[in-house]
Structure 1
Amino acid sequence: MSTNAADTTRSADLVTDDRVEGRLYTDPEIFEEEMQKIFYKSWVWVAHESEIPQAGSFKTTFVGQQPVIVVRDRKGNFNTLLNRCRHRGATVCDQPNGKANGFTCPYHNWSYGLDGKLRGVPYPEGYEDILDKADFPLGKLRTESYLGMIWATFNADAEPLEDFLGDAKLWMERFFKQTNGYPTKVIGTHKFRFNGNWKIQLENTTDGYHFPMVHKSWMTSVDEETADMMSFMNDPEAVTHNLGNGHSVAIMATAHMDLDIDDGTEEIQPRFHHLVEQLESDGYSEAEIRRMMRSMHGCGFNLNTFPNVAMSSAFFRVLIPISVNETEIWHMALGMEGGPEYVNQERLRIHEHFQGPFGFGSPDDAEGWDRVQIGAGADPAMPIMVNRGLNREVTSPEGWPTSHVTDETGMREAYAQWKKMMSAEDEK
């Protein structure tokens, strides 16, 4: 955004209680400020423990625009290492995932251990008395995990992860009940980019208002039982809670809000009868089978955690900001580690039906996100409205600001956290 004498408006002042200026999607200077004040100051989700199961297992990803390696070392610790050689700055790993004994820069072969320490320098002659390997490890981010979810931050002074997650932890616990007592594992990842700002996607995860309009094709492609389960527009118990710290949860399928609660009246969908028969023949109990079938679509809600990951029904949705007008999305399907693989495969097929490249859901979402970016660019000063439900927001018994799932309670909380972090004084 402009910083000349004629326009000294701070980015944070472009957000009010019920609207934000469209330039939050289009201004490259605001985007750069977000990287510094949000993505490099906050906890950013980087991996699930199942993605790096053994010593040497790693994945590469980004924290903001910074490339990182998330790796499990030989002591079982999770390290998030800056993917940048300390010699000339080249990335030391270009594989999306794998297993390694360490990382070696392909440019001059400086080599690093799983803990990031510099282990070797080829042809060390010329470095006598001017290079101490202990002074040149890979950059390391502070890393913490909760319920198998791994976050990292550049900010050594950030509050403990569990404090940052706050009341979102209850909903994380409920989310992971969908794997029915088995450890959760990532069983597939679909990555794509859309031509829009990262906040457009951040808003979408708890936006129940768009669902019956944007996802008409998906609603007509599924069986009647699934469509009924997602018919929440007039359900007074379908609500969105503001959980604080930018987090929110949108409850859509209220009967599946807590999978431990089962009144026994819900019938198993006919589409899963073949799985029931196979599970019975494999010796699973009636209770185990019922629990697996009730959780086939995941939990009954979308949990949005600020700024970059959602635990959404049956998958993780990760956003990675590429530029002010481009964002990469990772949709990660989930299954049961040690559970019946044919059930995991059915969960993957359900995921593909909505989230896959030929699915009925995500392509429609991405079209909408692209259109928002185009419209915002046409008039960046025109406000983006986030006022739906403001007049009917109440406080839940837990103390959470709450409104209907079609309301914009979650967006307002995300922007409140955005405003708080962007209001921080610039570092000198």
Structure 2
Amino acid sequence: MLDTSLEQASVPNARPLEDMFDGERFHSDLYTDPGIFDLEIERIYHRTWIWVAHESEIPNAGDFKTTHVGRTPVIVTRGKDGAVHVLLNRCRHRGATVCDRNQGNARAFTCPYHAWSYGLDGRLIGVPFEEGYKGILDKKNYPLVSLKVGLYCGLVFASMNEDIEPLEDFLGDAKPWIDLFLRQGGGFPVKVAGAHKFRFTGNWKIQLENTTDGYHFPFVHRTFVDSLPQEMAKGFTAFMREEGPFVRALGNGHSVAVFFPDQVDLSQDDDKPIPPQFEELAAQLSRDYPPERVRWIIRAINGVGFNLNLFPNIGLSAAFLRELKPLAVDRTEIRHMALVMDGGPEEANRARLRIHEKFQGAGGFGSPDDMAAWERVQIGAGARRDDVWIMLNRGLNREARDGEGHLQAHVTDETGMREGYAMWKRMMVQ
């Protein structure tokens, strides 16, 4: 078992883990120490629920996608009976991965090394020249290793921990916000319409913090705001000064940042006029839908007015999913999945995708600017003379509990980040 005191860690004068986060600040070793990173994989990613897919990515029997739990490769499959399985992408013979495609449809998975074959549920179904194993190999004892699977509202989670608490208990008070987020389809279900990914030179927790960080938006994303029509641009910065927007800790490391309170529940008509940029689209939609449905679809185009962080690896943000994968202490992969209305009007879905591309696309305004900021944090964290601490105290002077006991503050405050690090500490200190 790894030593919690980190006596073998790479940083001189390493301190106990319980001293790394004091509720107001954390030590920059959390970004830079490979020993801490290895512990995070073992004690967080291998012991809690990790998001691996949205069910719309594997709608039919035989559909699959490959991803990771921590740094462990897995396959998410839809079995012939419709059940969802999460399997280690590792042949039981010599350990080679049995699938190297991002996604697709298959009847079975065959290892390219010695052609051992496995069913969609992981069963070992074929061993070439089986006489060489006569009397020493029983195929039923060598399936692909299955992970525990949990489903909530189409979100698929997996865990390596057989004793993990039920998924609904882990999600806890984040569940109502998940429900609201997934009701953003204008009356249609939502589905993943595609994804793009990129890697940045920085620690995974830098991105984890970012999802509910309202403080950075008008500075890091100034060029995006400047690209918008004047009235719309005002709306994208007004939350900095208004009292209504808030960030709330939801327990278990989860948090929500509400930037536009009137866009939390898109099924509720706000009676606002159709924005000028959508008037032509609304006229087209009115040929096939009644006025109230047209308004609902138009409201859904930009997505919800909040970002939801589910510890430790998935963000439900506006109109997309953002998955983070920890690759190394200073290397992280991000996958952005655009969401559209499943069965909804093509022209409305096209508008959603164009908005996604403008901000989250590889050539858009948001992702490149965020990545540059995250990498500067990583560089700065490694520049030290004495102990270097990262401040996490914004909003402590105005943080209060809501009617349900959740800590809450202004949307520009760091309440959500403190919630994430409190969960980090709870899981890491044993």
TM-score past 0.5 threshold: yes
Q: Distance in 1 between matches of 2:266 and 2:231?
A: 18
Q: TM-score, normalised by structure 1?
A: 0.96
Determine whether 1:117 maps to 2:123.
Answer: yes
Alignment equivalent of 1:129, drawn from 132, 135, 146 = 135
Q: TM-score, normalised by structure 2?
A: 0.96
Q: Distance in 1 between matches of 2:195 and 2:291?
A: 31
| TM-superposed deviation, 1:8 | 6.3
2:260 counterpart residue number: 253
Q: Distance in 1 between matches of 2:114 and 2:79?
A: 24
2:296 counterpart residue number: 291
Deviates more, 1:128-137 or 1:406-415: 128-137
Q: Distance in 2 between matches of 1:315 and 1:225?
A: 24
Q: Distance in 1 between matches of 2:151 and 2:231?
A: 37
1:39 counterpart residue number: 45
1:302 and 1:311 in contact (8 A); partners too: yes
Instruction: After superposition, give the CA deviation of every residue in 1:230-263 in whole Å (9 maximum; x if it has no partner).
Output: 2200110100010000000000012101223334
2:187 and 2:296 in contact (8 A); partners too: no
Q: Distance in 1 between matches of 2:325 and 2:270?
A: 40
The 5 A counterparts of 1:74-153 are 74-153=80-159
For the residue of structure 2 that corresponds to 1:358, the secondary structure is coil
Identity of counterpart residues, as a percentage?
55
| TM-superposed deviation, 1:7 | 4.5
* Cα RMSD (Å): 1.4
Gaps of 5+ in 2: none
Determine whether 1:235 maps to 2:242.
Answer: yes
Q: Distance in 2 between matches of 1:249 and 1:174?
A: 12
2:6 and 2:36 in contact (8 A); partners too: no
Q: Distance in 2 between matches of 1:226 and 1:100?
A: 46
Q: Distance in 2 between matches of 1:180 and 1:338?
A: 11
Alignment equivalent of 2:284, drawn from 254, 278, 291 = 278
Q: How many residues align?
A: 422
Instruction: After superposition, give the CA deviation of every residue in 1:313-343 in whole Å (9 maximum; x if it has no partner).
Output: 1100100001000000011110111111221
2:269 and 2:295 in contact (8 A); partners too: no
Q: Distance in 2 between matches of 1:130 and 1:9?
A: 50
The 1:309–1:76 alpha-carbon spacing in structure 2 relative to 1, beyond 3 Å, is: same
Alignment equivalent of 2:337, drawn from 332, 337, 349 = 332
1:188 and 1:348 in contact (8 A); partners too: no
Q: Distance in 2 between matches of 1:79 and 1:381?
A: 45
| TM-superposed deviation, 1:4 | 5.3
Instruction: After superposition, give the CA deviation of every residue in 1:113-159 in whole Å (9 maximum; x if it has no partner).
Output: 00001001001121111111111110110001100000000001110
2:118 and 2:126 in contact (8 A); partners too: yes
* Structure 1 residue identity aligned to 2:7: T
Q: Distance in 1 between matches of 2:300 and 2:187?
A: 12
The 1:398–1:224 alpha-carbon spacing in structure 2 relative to 1, beyond 3 Å, is: farther
1:320 counterpart residue number: 325
Determine whether 1:21 maps to 2:63.
Answer: no
Alignment equivalent of 1:361, drawn from 357, 361, 366 = 366
Q: Distance in 1 between matches of 2:119 and 2:167?
A: 26
4+ runs deviating over 4 angstroms: 4-8
Deviates more, 1:399-408 or 1:176-185: 176-185
2:123 and 2:140 in contact (8 A); partners too: yes
For the residue of structure 2 that corresponds to 1:228, the secondary structure is helix
Alignment equivalent of 2:377, drawn from 365, 372, 381 = 372
* Structure 2 residue identity aligned to 1:364: D
* Structure 1 residue identity aligned to 2:359: F
Q: Distance in 1 between matches of 2:265 and 2:126?
A: 52
1:203 counterpart residue number: 209
Q: Distance in 1 between matches of 2:352 and 2:387?
A: 43
Q: Distance in 2 between matches of 1:30 and 1:49?
A: 33
Q: Distance in 2 between matches of 1:73 and 1:226?
A: 46
Q: Distance in 2 between matches of 1:269 and 1:235?
A: 21
* Structure 2 residue identity aligned to 1:215: H
* Structure 2 residue identity aligned to 1:369: W
Instruction: After superposition, give the CA deviation of every residue in 1:282-338 in whole Å (9 maximum; x if it has no partner).
Output: x21101110111121100000000000010011001000010000000111101111
* Structure 1 residue identity aligned to 2:372: E
Q: Distance in 2 between matches of 1:321 and 1:4?
A: 21
2:66 and 2:73 in contact (8 A); partners too: yes
